[in-house]
Chain A
Amino acid sequence: MYDLIVIGAGPAGLSAALTAYEKGLKKILVVERDKEMGGILNQCIHNGFGLHLFKEELTGPEFAGKFIEKIKETNIEIMLDTMVLKLDENKNIYILNTKGYQKLSAKAIILAMGCRERTRGAIATPGDRGAGVYTAGAAQRYMNMDGYSVGNKVVILGSGDIGLIMARRMTLEGAKVLACVEINPYSAGLRRNIKQCLEDFNIPLYLSHTITDIKCTNNRVSKVIVSKVDEAYNTIKDSEIEIECDTVLLSIGLIPENELSKEANITIDQRTKGPVVYENMETSVEGIFCCGNVVQVHDLADNVALEAKKAALAACKYVLNERTFEREIKVEVNKPISYTVPQKIHLPIDEKLIDISFRTNKILGKCVIKVVNSSGEVICKYPREYVIPAELEKINIPVSLIKDEKNNITIFIEED
C-alpha cells in the first residue's frame, strides 16, 4: 500500500510528488506512460517558463529539469513506460507495462494527467480528407523531438499559444507561415506571443475569420478557403480568401484528460471539462486530488506547479488525518465569467486565503471583480485594468470573510 500515487509525471505530478515527500509522506509512487519524466514540457523548447517560480526565464525542458533533478535526489518511486488503465473510487489503480498488468493501492491519489488537444473532428472543419492537417502540438513534437518538419507553406487555424509558438518555430526552420486564422474577434493566445511569434515575422492574424474549406490535390492539402464570420459565427458571403498551402495546423484548444476520473465516478464540470474541485484541489471522491491541466487549461507551468503543491499538502493532511472541515459552500458565477476553480469550498479551514481562478468569455476594459455572499452583501472587491479570455484571472479571498457562510458565494465582474 502506497501513501500516495501520482498519475502523470509532468510539472503537476512532479511538483506534487516533491511537496508530499518534503512534508514527510514515505511511500510515494509516480506513474508515467511516456519513456521519460517532464510531460508536455519536453516538447516546449521555447522560453517563457519559470519567471514566477525560479525568477529566471527558462525553456520547457529546463523547467522540467529542475524538478527531475530534485526528484532524483529522493526515494520517490518513478514508473516510466507505464499506463494507468483504470482508477476506482477505493483508490486502486490498474496499470500496464512490459512486466504486465497490475493492481496498486494508495491512501491518497493525485491526478496529474494533463490535457490533450482538440482535433479537427471536434470542430468539424469541412473539406477534403488528405495529408497535411496536424494539431499544433503533434507538429511541435514531430519537429522538436523527432526532428522532422511537417510542411513548407502553412496556415494555422486558431490562435492558441501552441499555434503561435509553432508559427515562429516553423518560420525559423525555413517554412512560410501564411496566416493565422481565429474565429473569435480576439486572440486565444497571450499578447507576448502575438508580438514575438506573429508580428516579429509579419505573419497576418485574421480575427473573426475561419477556414471554411480545405482542398486537397493528390491526397495532400493544396489550399484553404478562409471566410469572415459575423458575431454569431455565421460565415459572411463573398468574404472568401483563397490561400495556397500544403499544411494546416490546428490550435483550437486543449481538453483536460479525464477518462480515468470519469471511471472512478469523479464529478466532472462540463464547463472546465475537469473534475469539480474544492479549495484544496480534492475531487468529489474523498482522498482523490488533482492538479495542473487535468483540472483546467493553465497558461503558465509556474501556476501548475503551485497548484500541485496545494493538492499535495491537502493529500498529506488527508493521509495524516489532519483535516478540520465540517461543511461546504459553493462558488457561483455570473456572466461573462465562464467558470471558477475551485467550484466548492470546505469550511472551516486553517488557511488564511483561498485562491480562485476563472476565465471570462469576452474582453473587458477597466473593471471590478466582486464577491457577494448569500445575503447579497459585497464582501470583497478587486479592481482590474483589463480582463481577457486568453489569461486566467485570479483573486484570493480572505477566509475570515466567508467563515460563517452557509450556502454560496457568487463572483461578479462589472465594467466601469
Chain B
Amino acid sequence: MIELICIGCPKGCKLLVDENNDHSVTGHSCQIGVEYGRNEVLNPTRVLTTIVKIENGIHNCLPVKSSKPLPKNKLIEASRFLKDIVVKSPVKTNQVIVKNILDTGIDIIATRDM
C-alpha cells in the first residue's frame, strides 16, 4: 500500500493506492482522487504555473500555466526555458505563449488579460 495526500483540491484526502491490486485507490472523496492516486504512482504530473516577461503591460510579468499537467520531472526544465521568453502586451487569457513546450505536446498559456 502506498499512502498519499490527494492534491486535487484543498480537502487533501488521505489516499491508499494498492500497487498489488491494479493500483486501486481508497480513501478518496471524489473521482479526481482515484485518478490522482493512480497517476501519482504510475506517472506523476503537475500543472506548472509561472510567469514570463511582458513589455508594455500594467506589470512586468504575465502569469502563465501549462494547458495540461506536465510530467513532474520536467517542471524545473520548463521553468528555466520560460525565463527567457518575452511577450508584448496586449495578451488575452488562454492565449498560447509557448506551443508544445519541451516536446511534451502541452502548451503554455496566459492566465490573465494584460
Contacts and interface: CB of A to CB of B under 8 A. Distances in A.
B79 to A, nearest CB: 4
B101 interface: no
Contacts of A194: 5
A51 B72 CA distance: 22
Interface stretch (A98-106, A140-148, A269-277): A140-148
A61 B111 contact: yes
B63 A190 contact: no
Interface of A: 35-36, 42, 45-48, 51-52, 57, 59-62, 64-65, 143-147, 169, 171-174, 190-192, 194-196, 200, 299-300, 391
B79 A62 contact: no
Given A59-B65, A172-B75, A144 B51 contact: yes
Contacts of A196: 7, 46
Contact of A191 (B12, B47, B48, B112): B12
B10 interface: yes
13 contacts: A45-B50, A47-B47, A47-B65, A61-B63, A61-B111, A172-B50, A192-B7, A192-B10, A195-B4, A195-B7, A195-B12, A200-B46, A300-B10
Contact of A192 (B6, B58, B61): B6
A51 B53 CA distance: 28
Given A173-B79, A190-B12, A147 B60 contact: yes
Given A147-B61, A195-B4, 12 more contacts: A42-B112, A46-B49, A48-B10, A51-B10, A61-B111, A145-B59, A147-B51, A147-B53, A172-B50, A192-B7, A196-B46, A200-B46
Contacts of B48: 172
A146 B60 contact: yes
B97 to A, nearest CB: 13
Interface in B9-66: 9-10, 12, 46-51, 53, 58-61, 63, 65
Nearest to B12: A191
B95 interface: no
Contact of B49 (A36, A47, A200): A47
A147 B55 CA distance: 12
A272 B46 CA distance: 35
A36 B10 contact: no
A42 B57 CA distance: 14
B9 A51 contact: yes
Given A61-B112, A173-B79, A195 B5 contact: yes
A190 B47 CA distance: 18
A146 B59 contact: yes
B89 interface: no
A192 B32 CA distance: 14
- Chain B interface size, as a band, is 20 to 34
B112 A62 contact: yes
A200 B73 CA distance: 10
Nearest to B52: A147
Nearest to B64: A45
Contacts of B53: 147
Contacts of B9: 48, 51-52, 57, 192
A173 B8 CA distance: 24
A59 B51 contact: no
Contacts of A51: 9-10
B61 A191 contact: no
Contact of B51 (A35, A45, A174, A300): A45
A36 B59 CA distance: 11
B98 to A, nearest CB: 15
Contacts of B83: 173
The 10 closest A-B pairs by CB, nearest first: A191-B12, A61-B112, A45-B63, A147-B60, A192-B7, A172-B79, A147-B61, A145-B59, A192-B12, A59-B111
Contacts of A145: 59-61
B86 to A, nearest CB: 11
Contacts of A391: 10
Contacts of B100: none
Contacts of A192: 5-10, 12
A61 B72 CA distance: 23
Contacts of B8: 192
B111 A62 contact: yes
A136 B31 CA distance: 34
Interface string B70-84: 001001100110010
B107 to A, nearest CB: 15
A143 B5 CA distance: 28
A134 B27 CA distance: 39
Contacts of A200: 46, 72
Contacts of B75: 172
Contacts of B4: 195
A398 B99 CA distance: 52
Contacts of B80: 174
